[in-house]
Each structure stands twice: as C-alpha cells, then as structure tokens.
Amino acid sequence: MKRLFKLIDGDTVFGDIETVQTKDGNTEVLIKNPWTAKNGNMMPYMMDIMTEAVGAIQIHPMNILWSAPLEDFKQANELYIEKTTGIVTDSTSKIIM
C-alpha cells in the first residue's frame, strides 16, 4: 500500500508502507523507498541533504500529523510508480507549444 504522510517536523513523505512492531510493543510505520515533496519538487527522501537516497524510514505514529492514500495525489503517485518500478502510467499525448 502506498501512502503520503505529513510529519510533525513539516516534511511530506510518501512511499510503500508496512507496519512493524517494536521491541517495546509499539506499532510504527515503515516507509520503503521514501520520497518527499519540497517546493513543488519531488525527490527521494533526504536526497537534498545527504546526496544519497535512503532505503527506508521508520516513523512513530506520534510524528504523523495526517496521512492519505498516495493515489489521491495523481502527479506524485505517477512519478513514484515511474521512478521506483520503471512503469510509465501517464500515456496521454502532450503537445508543447
């Protein structure tokens, strides 16, 4: 399942998610191949800071302000699918003048 999260620190993160149980019994969210949106640009999470993409991040639910299915954000969803799988989902013709 793919979801988009708005985090308490202001970051927007999206990707394929799983829930994981920590040793102390808490349930946290694991985002595989996390991406982010900043100022209208989408890129792998932390790419602008570390110059290398992170493979996954684990987030405690208290750090999430809100979340939604990634499919609700058409452009982000199509870009994420294209960049992580190589499948291009938008096949509409575009004319640039």
Cβ–Cβ under 8 Å, residues 32 and 45: no
To the nearest whole number, what is the mean pLDDT of the chain?
A: 89
The pLDDT tens digits of the residues spanning 53-80 come to 899 999 999 999 999 999 999 999 999 9
Of 50, 47, 42, which Cα lies nearest the Cα of 73? 42
User: What pTM was computed for the model?
Assistant: 0.83
Cβ–Cβ under 8 Å, residues 6 and 76: no
d(CA 26, CA 90): 39
- What pLDDT was estimated at residue 13? 96
Share of the chain above pLDDT 90, in %: 66
- What pLDDT was estimated at residue 51? 85
Q: Which domains are present in the chain?
A: 2-85 (2.30.30.100)
pLDDT of residue 95 exceeding 80: no
pLDDT of residue 91 exceeding 80: no
d(CA 42, CA 44): 7
